[in-house]
């Protein structure tokens, strides 16, 4: 089942169960996907957002909520931070399992070997290979320095 269908099925289930918090988050996910569809249409593409794009959208949404929760905690607004963390839990239901640090290192080593990277100039190729295989499964902000260390 594609990601769009999974989100819509979860939305219907949340409506039936009258789960307001989950329903709100699922509607936000749907809106983000539709926004991306509209952006693609603006570029002249008729295709809908792919599952890889949906995973990227979800990853971005999680990151935004983590930053917001951190800001709310620093500002002493714990009830708002808790709401953000609840939304993260709902969004993560649709993301694949995150790779551990060891698994990420192994994936980086495999990608370097796969593209034949020999220097820091090949970092873009390595990151492209990783994004093609592991979108939604690893934090590329953490992986970038790891790739740079191995190539540098």
Q: What pLDDT, on the 0 to 100 scale, is given for residue 39? A: 87
CATH number of this structure's domain 101-151, picked from the four choices 3.40.50.150, 1.10.10.410, 1.10.10.10, 3.20.20.60: 1.10.10.410
Residue-wise pLDDT tens digits, 60-108: 999 899 999 999 999 999 999 999 999 999 998 998 888 888 888 888 8
Lookup result for tokens 């926004």: 35
Q: What pLDDT, on the 0 to 100 scale, is given for residue 45? A: 72
Residue-wise pLDDT tens digits, 11-66: 999 999 999 999 999 999 999 999 998 988 888 776 788 888 888 899 899 989 99
Q: What pLDDT, on the 0 to 100 scale, is given for residue 61? A: 93
The dihedral through the CA atoms of 57, 106, 99, 69 has a sign that is: negative
Q: How big is the chain, counted in residues?
A: 152
The token pair that represents 4 in the structure block = 């769009």
Q: What pLDDT, on the 0 to 100 scale, is given for residue 150? A: 84
Q: Who wins on pLDDT, 65 or 138?
A: 65
Return the half-sphere exposure (C-beta side, CA atoms, 13 A cut-off) of residue 85. Answer: 11
Say which CATH topology domain 3-92 has.
Hypothetical Protein Yqey; Chain: A; domain1 (1.10.1510)
| Residue 50 dihedral angles phi and psi, to the nearest 5° | -80, 170
Q: What pLDDT, on the 0 to 100 scale, is given for residue 105? A: 87
Q: What pLDDT, on the 0 to 100 scale, is given for residue 1? A: 67
For the chain, give every domain's residue range: 3-92, 101-151
């Amino acid at each position: 089942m594609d990601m769009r269908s999974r989100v819509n099925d979860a939305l219907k289930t949340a409506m039936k169960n009258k789960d307001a918090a989950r329903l709100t988050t699922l509607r936000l996910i749907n809106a983000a996907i539709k926004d991306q569809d509209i952006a693609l249409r603006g570029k002249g593409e008729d295709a809908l957002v792919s599952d890889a794009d949906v995973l990227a959208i979800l990853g971005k949404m999680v990151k935004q909520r983590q930053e917001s929760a951190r800001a709310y905690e620093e500002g002493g607004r714990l009830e708002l931070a808790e709401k953000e963390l609840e939304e993260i839990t709902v969004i993560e239901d649709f993301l694949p399992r995150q790779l551990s640090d060891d698994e990420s290192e192994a994936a980086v080593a495999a990608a370097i070997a796969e593209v034949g990277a020999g220097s820091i100039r090949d970092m873009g190729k390595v990151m492209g290979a990783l994004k093609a295989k592991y979108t939604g499964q690893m934090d590329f902000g953490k992986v970038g320095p790891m790739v740079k260390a191995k190539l540098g």
